[in-house]
Structure formats: C-alpha cells, structure tokens
Structure 1
Amino acid sequence: MKNRIAALGLLVAALPAAALELHGLKADEIAVWAAPVEGEEAIVSHRAETAVNPASTMKLLTGWAALNRLGPDYRWTTTLLSAAPVENGALKGDLYWLGGGDPRFDNGNLLTLLYGLRLRGIHKLEGRLVLDKRAFASIGGADDFDEDAGRAFTVEPDSHLTNLKVAWLTFYRDAQGARVVLDPPLAGVKLQAELKPGKDEACPDVRRFAAIETDGRTVTVKGALPAACDGKRAYVNVLDHDAFAGQDFAAMWQALGGEGPMGVARGRAPDEARELAAWQSQPLPAALADINKYSNNTMARTLFLTLGREAAGEGSPQAAAGVVRDLLRERGIDDLPQLILENGSGLSRRERVSARLLGEVLRDAARGPYADEFAASLPVAGQMGTLKKRFIDLGPRLRMKTGTLKDVKALAGYWQAADGRRLAIVAIVNSPRAPEMAKALDAVVADVVRGFDTRSSAKR
C-alpha cells in the first residue's frame, strides 16, 4: 500500500498543473511553476511562460536585485548640512536636509539626527530648512489607484519619506473622559474631535468606535470610546511630502527644546556646506523584512528607486528597471519579453512577469550568497505578516510572499521538505474572480507541496 501511495505521489508531482485539482479555478485563470532548488527540471509548469500581473510578489524581484547589486550591508544615509556659521548656539543661515530615501526613516531616527545638532551646541535655526531632494530624479507612477489615495499603502516614495508620511491618532479614555491627540503635533494639520465615553466592551480596533475622516489638512474624529480603547492608535495620511517633512522636523526639533526653522523650501546644498549631523539606517535586510512580511508598497518603490540610483547612477524607475534586466541576463534568466516593470512593488495595473521567470529568480536567490537574508524576509506560514492566518497546517517550513490586487491573487516562495530539500513555488491567479479564489489558490499550493514531499519520500 505504501508503495502505491508513493508511486501516486510521484506521478501527481510530475503532472502539469492543468492535470491537478484546481479547486474550482479555471485553467486559464492560474499560472503555476514549481521546481526543486537543488534540481533542474520543473515538476509543475502550467501557463508558466504567460505574462501575468504578479501583484506584490513582484517585490521578490526587486529585493533579489537589491541584495545582489547593493549587498546586504547597504545602508541609507540622511544628512544635515550648512554653509552658515554658528554663533552663540544659533545657526545663522539655511540648514539643508539631504534626504537619502531611507524607506524606514521614522521619528525616532529623526530625533537622533536632530540630537546630533544639539550636541554641536546648536539650539536655534535662524534660516530656512531646505530640502535637498537630489536622491531621486523621478518617482514614477502607480496608475489607476486614485480611489485608494488616502490609504498608507498608496503613499508615493520620496527622498524625505518620514514615518511613511502618516501621523498617528492616540486615543485616551480615562478619568479625563474620551479624547484623542495627534502624534506628531503637525502645525498645518487641524484636529477636530467629538468623542464621548462608550459602553464597556472590547476594543480590538479603535476604528470600530471612532469614525476618522481627513482631507489632508483637517482630521475629524467622532464616536463613543469604550474604556478598553485607552491607548489605542490609528494612522492618518496627511499633507504632501514636503509639508509633512518640514512640519515633522519642526515638531521634533521643538520637542528637543530647539527654536526655528524660519520656513521650509527646496534647494541643493552648496558645495561648501559642511556636515553637521548624519543618520545611517539599519542594513538592507531590515527593510526587506518590512517590505515582504507586510507587503509595504511605499518602501518597495523606494528601494526600487535606490537600486537605480546606486547601481545605475539615477534614482528613477527606468534606471532601476535596467539594473534588474541586466542582472537577469547575467544569471541566464531569459523570459525578458514577458517582463514589464513600472515601480517594482507590484502596486501596478501594468507590471507583468511570467511564473517561470519569478520562479527562476527564487531558485537563483536560494542558491546564491544571500540566500539566508532573502528567505528570512519572507512571511512564515501561520506565524507572521501576511501569512499569519494562512497555511497553518503546513507550518513554518513554508515561506511565501503574498500578492493581492483587484483581479489578482498570488503566492511565491519556498517549501522545505523534512529531508531538507527545497521547492521554489509560484502560483498566480489573474481573474475577475480572484478575490473569491484565495482558498482555491492556497489549496493548489498545498497540493504541490504535498506532491513534492511524497516524491521526495519515494526517492529515499
């Protein structure tokens, strides 16, 4: 009996996906490719050469290219410079903020940067804060997402991205009643709140009890807060990038007891400007983990632009796309006609890739010198990120990047069998039915995994 089961598993694992159970998916709605990392031949290949929209699984291509071209110890640098003298603790001219495009730059990092000014004895800025935005030549687009413009995941990249350009609302329900505060306190954002104490019940998400609306400059909050909402937080996307950076800078500077600056402008730091303070980010893998585990589009687009700047001399989507294509050719991955890159994040109606190309990138990453860093960036099934509630029965030997758009559901990553052999898997659904086919997609991937395990057992 065991021999029959093993033989059946070997047969199923070798069949094309069209011959497998597709769990309600139509054959032309899904592309699947799977191959052993340690082997050569694909064990599943169904519509694997077809150009499909990969949604956020495109982030794997960007991350792979970044590790290979920038290296795992790459760090972003943010610098404050000035050519003006310092007299009696006052900077007597403009302060230049040279943004490095750090995708993880937050208020904690900004405070550390500004503390460097205080250590130099500077407490007053008598000139302007000038944003030097030379890091990126152009941002590129993510077309046809206008209806989502207020959501954090659609925030565009920027050389001075801070806190992902979102402010936080912190809610309190205590002896002083129900109230909310804006963090950081941005001078150009007005908070209007009408809150009252609510019934005694659990508060898993404060947005269940507080209606939040914003036009970018006014935030309106209304509702009734249970006591359990005390300390809960929610984000709001406010202001444009320059206004947010300038007002956030001023708020953090004042929190350190500083005075100024006298307005915000754009400009390039003069050649004679000297460095007054600098911040270096954590290494690249920290950003990759945020990008892949939580599918952060803004950070992925920022990394894509950084790839172009550092590897091709221009921070633009076009330069970054050229870097990716050159690397693919170097590695002998040749499905280039199917590849369309818009912004490298998968937040795109235009981006296309074949399942085989993405699968070969996964195999190359797993065989390369940065295999550990790459794999560690992926969500672990049933435990973290976008896979926290999926594939719980398969557990931590499955690591996959997810992808979701209106007509797209995608999965790409690795399975490690009990004997240590690894399988690279890509499965992408493109269909108006995609939103309702998530369980079918998961079932297809699970079948491929179990077939591979059976095949491995049969060979032992």
Structure 2
Amino acid sequence: MIAAIGVGVSGAAIGGAAAAGPSADPVATLRADLNAILANKGLDGASYGLIVRTASGKVLYEKNADTRLEPASNTKIFTSTTALNVLGPSYRFNTTVLDDGHRHGSVLVGSLSIRGGGDPTLLATDYDSMAAAVARSGIRAVTGNLVADDSFFDNVRLGVGWAWDDEPYYYDAQISGLNVAPNTDYDTGTVIVDTTPGAVAGVPAHINLVPATGYVHIVNRTTTTTGTHSTIDVERQHGNNTIVVNGTIGRGFGTDREWATVWQPTGYAADVFRRALRAHGVSVAGRTLLTKTPAGSTRIATHTSATLADIYIPFLKLSNNMHAETLVKTMGAVRAGHGSWPAGLGVMRPVLQGFGVDTATSVQVDGSGLSRMDYIPPRQFSNALVAVQNRPWFRTWYKALPIAGAPGRFVGGTLEYRMIGTPAQGRVHAKTGSLTGVSALSGYDVDADGHRLVFSMIENNVANFDPETVEDQVAIRLAEFSTRPGALHGIPAVPATRRGPVGVDCRTLPEARVC
C-alpha cells in the first residue's frame, strides 16, 4: 500500500492498510471495509449503490444494488456490448458518392450526391479522398446540385432529456447520418477553434477553424496581450452556427484550442465535401440540398470506415458520447429499418435481456447517458458484466475499456490518472461516468489472487465532494482482496495524483474527456 494520503470531505488523511489475522474471514473483512468506505461523510445525503461479484456471478457484497440511479456514461456499457452483439466487431460504416445524371465529356448533367451511413469517424481527409475519386472519374463540372443524404438516420438530432444549455459543447453534438470529425479523437459534429495571439498587444487574436469551413460564423471579440496566459472562451449560440470567441490571449501563450458543436452537422459535412471537390478541380453549379439521393443514382466511390473493434478504442477510452448515440441509431437502421433512438433501443432490449438484464427495472432513453432520464440499478450493470465474459467479442470490448493508471489516452483513457501506484493500477478495466452531481465506475478488477471480480458503483446527488475518491478506494480494496492469510485490509489510500484538476466539472475540459 502507498502512504495514507487520500482526502475526504475535511481534507484529512483517509487510508491505511493492515494485515488480516490468519483466522479472519476474507469475505467478511472485505464487506466490513467496503461498509467503512461507503460511510464517508461526503456521501451523506447522496444516493448510491454498489455491488461486487465474482466472475461467475456470486455476490460478495451489495448495498442499494437495486436502486435506480442516473448512470451517466456507464450507460455506454449497455450500448457498446449490445452493438458488438448486434453488429459484430467487424462492422464498418460506408459513405458513398453517387451521380444521377449523364455525362457530356467532363460535365455531369445532373446532381452529385454524398450518402452517409452514420460513420462517426469521417475526417476532412476522407472527404478529400472521395472528392479525388470524383475527379479521377473524369468529372470536372456538375450542372445540378450537391445532395447531402443523411437519411440513414432520422432527423431527430438531440436526445431525450439532454440539457439545452449543453448543446453548444463538444460532448453534446447533434447526431446525423452524415458527419465530419475534426480530429482523430473523432469528436463528430464539432469544429476545432484555434486562437493564436496577434502580432502586437491590443489587436484581435487570429482564429482558425479545423477543418476549414464557412458553415459557421465566427464573432471575434478577442484581444492580444503581452502576457503568457489565455482567458479565451468559445461558445456557439444556441440554435444557430454563430460561434462567439471572447477573452484575451498573451503573446507568449501559443495556441488556445477549443471545440464547438455545429448546428445541423449534415450541412457542415456537405460544406467540407464541396470545398474538397473545388480543391480537386470539380465545380458544382447548384445549391447544397439536404435530402435523399435521387433514385437510380450510380455509385462513383465509397469510403469504408475502420472496423467497430478499432473504433471502440477512441469510443470507450475517451467516453465519446456521439459514438454511443450513433451506435444506437445504427442498430435501429440495420435491424429494424429505421435509424432512430426508439428503434435502436428496441433492438437493444432483447439483447440486454439475453445478458441477464431485467429491463423492467431500468429506464434507458439514449446511448451515452447524457440524458437525465436514464435510470439503471448497479445490479443490472453487473448482470451484463458477468454475462458478456462468455461472448466471442469480449476480449475486444475488455481491451477497449479504460485501464486504471495506464499511461496514454488510448490505453488508460478516462482512468489514466487514477489509482496510480496502487494495487489497482493496471488491474481495473472499467467504464467511468460523470455528470454534475453524478459519478459512476463499473467494470472488472483483478484481485490479489489473480481472479477477476465484477463491480458496479453509481452515486447521485453528490455535492461538495469528489466521489471518485470513494470509487477509487473501492477499486483498490478489491485489487487487494485475497483469500490467503495475512492479506491487506482496511480503507485504502488514494494517491493525490489520481487525475487532473480536482473539483472541476469534467464537461468543461474537452481535452480530458472524462465524462
């Protein structure tokens, strides 16, 4: 054990290990320690539940395990496992370019269409490749319109119970069947706003968009200063594509990078594609229409995504909300013929029941857990966690989960800075969850005897306390669990370096991706 430097409500040390006596019942000792951890004053007035089971499903500990709680991003456990079961780890998204006219030399007399298949990983470079394919086909001019077809999904862009004041921010982007992401974190439906200082103090800063687009309008209210700090704030106005950039940036600061969502992302994707066409010498005379591809159109090119197995690394490691929602709608489109939340959730329900989940005890209205209308008991998460171990795709999914204390955003993910230097480091593969007043951690822990344990903990209505302290103590204590004489017991310490800034709402830190 590391030194007792964990922090409770009062800031006092909480932790310290002792060796259990040779006659102590290890399970009884574990239960006593978990009760002591949950007695933290920081949870007074909060609602919470915890369940711990063996890999085979035997319950070792439970407290309030059947209480319905807001799970935040733990909801992705249900979404990601059912999607692997329904779509398979080798599933790929397709985006297709088509024409509906006839050609006179290099002129297409008709319209050019780009039809989305829900791919949440499309980059500007992918649109460039598709534009290059159009040019290689011999087309240099299109007399008709550019059709952007997002009909693989319905036109409901935001989920039930999502907070209206969150929608300008990267974690709450609109869902479309035709997307573009600005980076290889694949934050689909967002644009990166880079702000750099001007040449001299007193002038406005320079603002650059990634990818380049004219689909959003920038209002620059920035000022360059002589310092080395930045107070830049980026926010898209609700209901439109005006992005206001406020604040100051010092000459010695470098680049301030922020993310903003885009209103109506289909049009954003079409704008990026039109620019790519122009760059490859292909002009489109008509307007951009957001509608279905005309019947009888002929395929020119298709972009195929990476496999679902590969996409799951950024999805689960970084807890990408938009990927989760895309998967729900894709399941609906593939299995029920309708790419909507109700259809996708309807496909998920019997699969979850096959995992031993009692869906009558739970409410799930989206795929990511952004909704405040999701209510799921810890026991039901544990049922799924036990059941999926026997699925052929389990290793793919287990690898994609965040790993406690493992360096690297695409390895440790949202657990990269937690439980470092403790017995839980490298042993916990689990999904985090965080909303204001909500925290959760559910997954797997390897105990001191090398046996896998299953656990699920959710806390709601938490105020003026960091609940991840308790979650980490639970996970560390499970990693210490052993049936051997003299095993460690007690309330474990939590390292002070377990993550980044303490007390900052995760949703304000796009680079942290901790929701």
**1:276 offset after TM fit, Å?**
0.7
1:22 paired residue among 39, 42, 47: 39
Give, in whole Å, the separation in 2 of the partners of 1:41 and 1:280. 43
The question of 1:395 aligning with 2:412 is answered no
Q: Residue 317 of structure 1 corresponds to which residue in structure 2?
A: 341
Give, in whole Å, the separation in 2 of the partners of 1:366 and 1:82. 46
Q: How does 1:59-458 map to 2 (within 5 A)?
A: 59-137=76-154, 139=156, 141-163=159-181, 164-173=188-197, 178-193=205-220, 197-199=224-226, 201=228, 208-215=230-237, 216-260=240-284, 262-331=286-355, 333-382=356-405, 383=407, 384-392=412-420, 393=422, 394-433=424-463, 436-450=466-480, 453-455=481-483
Change in CA separation of 1:138 and 1:421 when aligned onto 2, cut-off 3 Å? farther
Give, in whole Å, the separation in 1 of the partners of 2:20 and 2:258. 56
**1:62 offset after TM fit, Å?**
0.5
Change in CA separation of 1:194 and 1:329 when aligned onto 2, cut-off 3 Å? closer
The one-letter amino acid paired with 1:190 is H
Partner of 2:24: helix, strand, or coil? helix
The one-letter amino acid paired with 1:365 is V
1:34 paired residue among 20, 28, 52: 52
Change in CA separation of 1:40 and 1:153 when aligned onto 2, cut-off 3 Å? closer
5+ residue gaps, structure 2: 1-17, 182-187, 488-515
Q: Does the CA-based 8 Å contact 1:6-1:454 persist in structure 2?
A: no
Give, in whole Å, the separation in 1 of the partners of 2:378 and 2:168. 32
Give, in whole Å, the separation in 1 of the partners of 2:475 and 2:72. 17
The one-letter amino acid paired with 1:165 is G
Which is further off, 283-292 or 296-305?
A: 283-292
Partner of 1:300: helix, strand, or coil? helix
**1:446 offset after TM fit, Å?**
2.7
TM-score of the two chains, using structure 1 as the length reference: 0.89
Change in CA separation of 1:12 and 1:434 when aligned onto 2, cut-off 3 Å? farther
Give, in whole Å, the separation in 2 of the partners of 1:130 and 1:456. 67
Change in CA separation of 1:335 and 1:220 when aligned onto 2, cut-off 3 Å? closer
Cα shift readout 1:9-65 (whole Å, capped 9, x = no counterpart): 33223569556643222497211111121x331111111122221111000111000
Give, in whole Å, the separation in 1 of the partners of 2:485 and 2:141. 70
Cα shift readout 1:185-224 (whole Å, capped 9, x = no counterpart): 32343334355553353x6xxxx34343443433343544
Partner of 1:245: helix, strand, or coil? helix
Change in CA separation of 1:189 and 1:52 when aligned onto 2, cut-off 3 Å? closer
In percent, how many aligned pairs have the same letter?
Answer: 25
**1:428 offset after TM fit, Å?**
0.3
Q: Residue 501 of structure 2 corresponds to which residue in structure 1?
A: none
Change in CA separation of 1:232 and 1:12 when aligned onto 2, cut-off 3 Å? same
Give, in whole Å, the separation in 2 of the partners of 1:240 and 1:389. 35
Cα shift readout 1:134-184 (whole Å, capped 9, x = no counterpart): 212354623250111211111121101212222222344587995222233
Q: Does the CA-based 8 Å contact 2:357-2:381 persist in structure 1?
A: no
Cα shift readout 1:286-305 (whole Å, capped 9, x = no counterpart): 33222221121112111111
Give, in whole Å, the separation in 2 of the partners of 1:408 and 1:79. 41
Give, in whole Å, the separation in 2 of the partners of 1:45 and 1:8. 17
Give, in whole Å, the separation in 2 of the partners of 1:82 and 1:61. 39
Change in CA separation of 1:16 and 1:91 when aligned onto 2, cut-off 3 Å? farther
Partner of 1:454: helix, strand, or coil? coil
Which is further off, 433-442 or 169-178?
A: 169-178
Q: Residue 60 of structure 2 corresponds to which residue in structure 1?
A: 43
State the Cα RMSD in Å: 2.8
**1:98 offset after TM fit, Å?**
1.2
Q: Does the CA-based 8 Å contact 2:192-2:258 persist in structure 1?
A: yes
Q: Residue 7 of structure 1 corresponds to which residue in structure 2?
A: 24
Q: Does the CA-based 8 Å contact 2:362-2:377 persist in structure 1?
A: yes
